[in-house]
Chain A
């Protein structure tokens, strides 16, 4: 078994009070001993991110998870702001910027539309894997292993059972996680 709290889950949702899927997912993992949950809107309601602290948090983890709903083909804005302010040169890339090298990165996201929408003939036109290229490349650029993302499509039309089943899958994934590079 690996050491305690080797996974950090970064989480954001604009209306957590109304969320069903992301709240279920969050609640499915937050009590795992190896998981440290960082709710970005709860920690930084003013968008003033404590970059020093977050760099240390990421450095201490083997697996970094970004868990959020997909808004406009991307994460909620605070995630982008997080990347802009925390993953700086000298830390995440550039000379001596090796803090994240060898870590694993998992994207755990949900979409409102079903998977069929992400096809050339669907309303979103592009394959989902293509739409998340920017974050995939970000992870790679920082020297992290981009694990196969855990995606839950069609959030608007899922039953409670389907959601719980997915949440359980997510929990299992984190419970069974083994670091790739050690």
Chain B
């Protein structure tokens, strides 16, 4: 198999993932281990279906970038500011202590100072992709351990920048030493961050609105990806981590109304690329080196994991994490990560590392990543049940609380529903895909999110899991039915009420199990008809009663015709013709049916046994 075309490679990755991940999940090991093993199997040391593991790894690192962007979207600047203490305290402590200890050990084992230091720097960092994927997979991000873990990872992302800057200084090669610390680069980096912050605030939102206004979903998706890639490239150009740039962009957009739309647009790419990333990690485990000196490599990998875990455990305890969550916190961050790959290749290219050191360390890191999903299983099955039986307390800090009511569609119809609820102190989460409405509503300070309500991810993001009521007010009859089905299938606890287009749409809604509906033009038309009756000489009260009777009768007819919904058109036509006739008769002999004190005995004529009035 020498012809490794793009499509063939894609076929291999997807097939490996589709086979390995469900099996791994089924066995309780989670998706990440499945991807890693799939990578081992198809990689150069397995079936050799794919050779260029390193290229794929670089490409797939973009999955990590998207992951950080998505996490940024969950954290608005204020929440990020509130997290400054764990980031700077816990994060800095973890990196510095781990680094010093590892470097000391390196020197003790006869490594040269620079090699020990760079190795320690790289190994002190954990895998953002691995840890966050594991935490989100188990929905642990909103817990104290998840929170602290995230803070540590964030600090590590920032710490990579000075580490990368320092490596050339440690080089023994003369030309690199002369280069010295690059102040210009630091200034550039700061300038880019300012550019992203300012640009995000004042340029990005108007552009997003413009793009959304085109109404083309794929263009919006394209723009979302473009945005992340552009920010990443910009950051990379000044020597910073792409992921950090994407995270920053995400934070800046966390408060915009497009947050949920961006999130759900990025989601599939993020998932696939992360999977690819883990496959690539699996592929890059060099079993040649491993087999040459299995004890050394295994010892290094396990030692690394043990040292990192112990330090994390101690710090977590110092930091007051609940004791039952300490193992989780310590183990989820215990591996080496993707930044180590980057640092080590830089170290090799600048001459700090000889090739043998790089290879050994990269296998060690990859192997340490393989241990994490396994350790998580051990934690889930044995450590946590052993420590405590109480469920972990959830914190709402990262996750949105979400409202009990979701209104899908906030045009002329949904707005009235939303305003009535709002006026009565009930807030709703609103989904709308027309940017023009969003513009208007922002001024009313409604919480409106941009996006297609018929997408499961958007509904989830809007808190459908916790919602009690969905008001379907979108102005497209077919989409409304799709949404109803989607919600019935995925969120059976939600009560659905809907805006109906016309009688045909009412029947379809009834077929889709929605029995609270309102024909969008019916009440308005009826009110105007009432006004017509008044202008033609009816008293206001009588006109109102006529409208009431009409409504009741019309509704009854509708239900009757619906009972024959599955019969042919003729039958239904006959029923509605009959009903029309009946209504006319009723209206003319209104005595029995109209609530207009039709009892003449009490006003005009006086009958033999009725009392007289006035």
Contact = CB atoms under 8 A, between A and B. Distances in A.
A160 interface: no
Interface in B590-607: 591-593, 595-602, 607
Contacts of A46: 548
Contacts of A70: none
B423 interface: no
A84 interface: yes
Contacts of B549: 48
B548 A48 contact: yes
Contacts of A94: 601, 607, 609-610
B587 interface: no
A88 interface: yes
Contacts of A49: 595
Contacts of A141: 611
Contact of B609 (A47, A51, A93): A93
Nearest to A49: B595
Contacts of B545: 48
Given A46-B548, A51-B592, A52-B592, A89 B610 contact: yes
A50 B610 contact: no
Interface string A37-53: 00000000011111110
Interface in B570-614: 591-593, 595-602, 607, 609-611
B601 A51 contact: no
A42 to B, nearest CB: 16
A59 interface: no
Interface string B213-257: 000000000000000000000000000000000000000000000
A93 B610 contact: yes
B607 A84 contact: no
Nearest to A92: B599
B593 A48 contact: no
A24 interface: no
Interface string A140-153: 01000000000000
Nearest to A137: B611
Which of A49, A51, A52 counts the most chain B CB atoms within 10 A? Answer: A51
A49 to B, nearest CB: 5
Interface string A66-96: 0000000000000001001100110001100
Nearest to B597: A84
A38 to B, nearest CB: 15
Contacts of A52: 592-593
Contacts of B601: 89, 94
B552 interface: yes
Interface in B550-577: 552
A51 B595 contact: yes
Contacts of A84: 597, 599, 602
Contacts of A89: 599-601, 607, 610
Contacts of A81: 595
A85 B610 contact: no
B552 A50 contact: yes
Interface string B428-458: 0000000000000000000000000000000
Contacts of B598: 85, 88
A70 B12 CA distance: 81
A49 B597 CA distance: 11
A48 B610 contact: no
A31 B96 CA distance: 70
A179 B591 CA distance: 32
Nearest to B547: A48
Interface in B143-157: none
Nearest to A85: B595
Contacts of B610: 89, 93-94
Nearest to B541: A47
A11 B552 CA distance: 22
Contact of A48 (B552, B602, B607): B552
A52 B590 CA distance: 12
B459 to A, nearest CB: 32
Nearest to A82: B595
B542 to A, nearest CB: 12
A48 B595 contact: yes
Contacts of B595: 47-49, 51, 81, 85
Which of B545, B548, B549, B599 counts the most chain A CB atoms within 10 A? Answer: B599
Nearest to B593: A52
Contacts of A85: 595-598
Contacts of B552: 48, 50
Contacts of A50: 552
A51 B594 CA distance: 8
A51 B545 CA distance: 12
B334 to A, nearest CB: 56
A85 B598 CA distance: 7
Interface in A150-164: none
A88 B548 contact: no
A74 B552 CA distance: 30
Nearest to A141: B611
Closest 4 CB pairs of A and B: A48-B548, A85-B595, A84-B597, A89-B601
Interface of A: 46-52, 81, 84-85, 88-89, 93-94, 141
Given A85-B598, A89-B601, 6 more contacts: A49-B595, A88-B591, A88-B599, A89-B599, A89-B610, A94-B607
Interface of B: 545, 548-549, 552, 591-593, 595-602, 607, 609-611
6 contacts: A48-B549, A48-B552, A84-B597, A85-B596, A94-B607, A94-B609
